[in-house]
Amino acid sequence: ATVTYDFNITWVTANPDGMADRPTIGINGQWPVPTIRVNKGDRLIVNVLNSLGNQSTSLHFHGLFMSGATHMDGPVSVTQCPIVTSDLPFTYNFTVDQPGTYWYHSHIHGQYPDGLRGPLIVHDPESPFKDMYDEEVVMTVSDWYHDQMPGLLGRFMSKANPTGAEPVPNSALLNDTQNVLVPLQPGKTYLFRMVNIGAFSGQYIWFEGHNMTILEVDGVYTQPAEAAMIYLAAAQRCSFLITAKNNTSRNFPIVASMDTDLFDTLPDGLNWNVTGWLFYDTAGPLPQPAVVCDPFEPFDDMGLVPWDNQTILGEPDQTIALDVIMDNLSDGANYAFFNNITYVAPKIPTLYTVLTAGEHATNPTVYGTYTHPFILEKDQVVDIVLNNLDPGKHPFHLHGHNFQVIWRSPAKAGTSAGSNVTAADFPSIPMRRDTVVLNPNGNMVLRFKSDNPGVWLFHCHIEWHVQSGLMATFIEAPLAVQDQTLDTLDTHGAAGEVA
Ligand code: C2O
């Protein structure tokens, strides 16, 4: 089927934590923004009309592979130009072949924390778990700022902030509010789909009196795994079963707690927890959380096994080694680097360079140093070896793929990935996802197959670090990208008419 959404992007006023009204980016006059729902195999069309007036925009559909449709991926300066304010919509149009829990967000000038981010659910009539639950609940967790991103970013990227301290959120939200009630009926089983749509903070999440059975992370079905607490970094998703009690005698707190290890300072009065409730007893009280967990012991996602039992890909044909470094440049501001390069958006979207460079599209120099381009050949096994020279956590995301997480060190393990680690250390069936946390001063090896021609960003999903340059561009099978994209444009008429 074809599923169409018409999105008119405008400013609205919101106050989700009850502390401050603020201009927020909404859709069709609403905030929170709608959840996109499709079935696996559907064509999704999203007509985006920018009515903001003062900012351009774009949408990225996080976690979807965009096979054969890299020009629909959404990051501005990478696969498209900005969508400007006008009375003509920009149309995203692609098929969705993966099941599971995703989200969509703006992918330009650090904009999504101002409100333009929401869940995207791909229902799967063939899900191996479909008989295990009665109902489905979509939930988001997020951090929240009272100030708008342009001002926060200006201060963050200035010489007044030489250490690169990220702005600390003002509060945490569950379902974009601080008093969500999730009605449960006795004895029923629920599939919760939880998405961290935040800008910065990871969140510890637990349900008092209830265990979770994890069934999916980032769109990858897993062997069922029991967890008392999970951790979701910015941009990660998890779906899990919760079985309701057999009686309605009381309500139970749902707690999401921001990972304060990420914060350079803890401002006075900051409440880093947000509570919601599993709501059984409509006349009963809403209890405060009994335990505030410290130390936190979330389920270790390295212990997950993909449902399809996909084994580790063979030895890499290509290895991309990236050191994560934070350092100051001559303007006194703090930037993030992969090796010695901090990403700077090109004036011409990188995809357009692929399409116009002819046979030179395989030569990285045509893309400019500051897009940090890596050319991948088709159908190779690629390793990304990350060494974190920074004492912070970084949730890394690759567009157009998920990856096998074949190695991840604990914090402070040093920067030896690729030298001290050998194939004997790798699991035979590694877990797979599209966003994974690199530990502070630790190391990690991600492996994937370059089977999806396109222009794909690899970046830290902390929106502050996107802006300070922790991004690289993977230009995968550029000659195949030329063929597939020019064919598509032909079908849509544009190139055909010019010819
Ligand atoms: Cu959630 Cu570059 O993306």
- Which H or E element spans position 457? strand 454-460
Residue 81 half-sphere exposure toward CB, CA atoms < 13 A:
7
State the average pLDDT over residues 436-461: 97
pLDDT for res 496: 37
For residue 113, pLDDT over 70 is answered with yes
| DSSP-derived secondary structure for 147-175 | S-HHHHHHHHTSTT-TT-PPPPPSEEEET
State in Å: Cα 247 to ligand 1 middle. Answer: 42
Residue 79 half-sphere exposure toward CB, CA atoms < 13 A:
30
State in Å: Cα 147 to ligand 1 middle. Answer: 22
Whether the model pTM is above 0.90? yes
User: 441 or 292: which carries more pLDDT confidence?
Assistant: 441
- Is residue 22 within 8 Å of 13, Cβ to Cβ? yes
Q: Please name every residue paired with 337 in a beta bridge, in sequence order, or none if there are none.
A: 325
DSSP 8-class letter at 107: -
State the average pLDDT over residues 98-119: 98
For residue 493, pLDDT over 70 is answered with no
- Is residue 446 within 8 Å of 398, Cβ to Cβ? yes
Burial pattern 400-412, b for ≥16 Cβ within 10 A else e, equals bbbbbbbbbbeee
Q: Looking at the domain that runs over 1-126, which CATH code has it been given? A: 2.60.40.420
- Which H or E element spans position 373? strand 373-376
pLDDT for res 499: 32
State the average pLDDT over residues 4-26: 98
pLDDT for res 485: 86
What proportion of the chain, given as a percentage, has pLDDT over 70? Answer: 97
State in Å: Cα 345 to ligand 1 middle. Answer: 15
State in Å: Cα 128 to ligand 1 middle. Answer: 28
Could you give the CA distance from residue 456 to residue 234 in angstroms, rounded to a whole number?
Answer: 19
pLDDT for res 418: 55
Three-state secondary-structure class, residue 71: helix
How many other C-beta atoms can be found within 10 angstroms of the C-beta atom of residue 20? 14
Q: Which of 54-68, 436-450, 482-496 has the lowest mean pLDDT?
A: 482-496
Q: Dump pLDDT digits (tens) for 168-204.
A: 999 999 999 999 999 999 999 999 999 999 999 999 9
Residue 220: partners with Cβ closer than 8 Å, 6 or more residues away: 100, 306, 307, 402, 431, 432, 433
State the average pLDDT over residues 249-267: 96
State in Å: Cα 171 to ligand 1 middle. Answer: 22
Q: Whose CA is nearest to atom 1 of ligand 1?
A: 62
> pLDDT grade, residue 497 (50/70/90)?
very low
Could you give the CA distance from residue 139 to residue 192 in angstroms, rounded to a whole number?
Answer: 7
* Average confidence score pLDDT of the chain: 95
Could you give the CA distance from residue 163 to residue 148 in angstroms, rounded to a whole number?
Answer: 21
pLDDT for res 486: 81
Could you give the CA distance from residue 245 to residue 208 in angstroms, rounded to a whole number?
Answer: 12
State in Å: Cα 63 to ligand 1 middle. Answer: 8
State the span(s) of the chain assigned CATH 2.60.40.420.
1-126, 127-308, 318-489
Q: Dump pLDDT digits (tens) for 213-251.
A: 999 999 999 999 999 999 999 999 999 999 999 999 999
pLDDT for res 457: 98
> pLDDT grade, residue 63 (50/70/90)?
very high
Ligand 1: nearest atom to the Cα of 63: 1
State in Å: Cα 457 to ligand 1 middle. Answer: 8
State the average pLDDT over residues 476-488: 92
State the average pLDDT over residues 68-76: 97
Q: Which of 122-131, 474-483, 484-493 has the lowest mean pLDDT?
A: 484-493
Residue 375: partners with Cβ closer than 8 Å, 6 or more residues away: 362, 363, 364, 475, 478
Could you give the CA distance from residue 50 to residue 11 in angstroms, rounded to a whole number?
Answer: 10
State the average pLDDT over residues 433-442: 97
235: tokens are 């941009």
* Superfamily the domain 318-489 falls into: Cupredoxins -  blue copper proteins (2.60.40.420)
Ligand 1: nearest atom to the Cα of 103: 1
pLDDT for res 422: 82
Domain 127-308 has CATH 2.60.40.420: yes
DSSP 8-class letter at 192: E
- Is residue 60 within 8 Å of 105, Cβ to Cβ? yes
DSSP 8-class letter at 317: S
pLDDT for res 495: 39
Q: What are phi and psi of 478, to 5 degrees?
A: -60, -35
DSSP 8-class letter at 196: E
State in Å: Cα 198 to ligand 1 middle. Answer: 12
Q: Alpha helices of 216-368 — where are they, by DSSP H?
A: 350-356
Measure CA of the first residue to CA of the last residue in the chain; give whole Å. 32
For residue 494, pLDDT over 60 is answered with no
State the average pLDDT over residues 345-354: 97
Ligand 1: nearest atom to the Cα of 75: 2
- Is residue 3 within 8 Å of 43, Cβ to Cβ? yes
Ligand 1: nearest atom to the Cα of 399: 2
Ligand 1: nearest atom to the Cα of 457: 2
Could you give the CA distance from residue 112 to residue 429 in angstroms, rounded to a whole number?
Answer: 35
State in Å: Cα 354 to ligand 1 middle. Answer: 21
For residue 319, pLDDT over 90 is answered with yes
Q: Whose CA is nearest to atom 3 of ligand 1?
A: 62
- Provide residues with CB under 6 Å of ligand 1: 60, 62, 75, 105, 107, 235, 397, 399, 457, 459, 461
Could you give the CA distance from residue 15 to residue 33 in angstroms, rounded to a whole number?
Answer: 14
Could you give the CA distance from residue 195 to residue 203 in angstroms, rounded to a whole number?
Answer: 10
Q: Rg of the Cα trace of the chain?
A: 22
State in Å: Cα 64 to ligand 1 middle. Answer: 10
Q: What are phi and psi of 9, to 5 degrees?
A: -90, 120
Amino acid at 112: Y
> pLDDT grade, residue 413 (50/70/90)?
confident
> pLDDT grade, residue 490 (50/70/90)?
low
pLDDT for res 487: 79
Residue with tokens 């498209």: 80
Q: Beta strand 171-174 with 135-144: parallel, antiparallel or unpaired?
A: antiparallel
State in Å: Cα 373 to ligand 1 middle. Answer: 17
State in Å: Cα 249 to ligand 1 middle. Answer: 42
Could you give the CA distance from residue 390 to residue 334 in angstroms, rounded to a whole number?
Answer: 13
> pLDDT grade, residue 421 (50/70/90)?
confident
Ligand 1: nearest atom to the Cα of 466: 2
Could you give the CA distance from residue 405 to residue 427 in angstroms, rounded to a whole number?
Answer: 9
pLDDT for res 290: 86
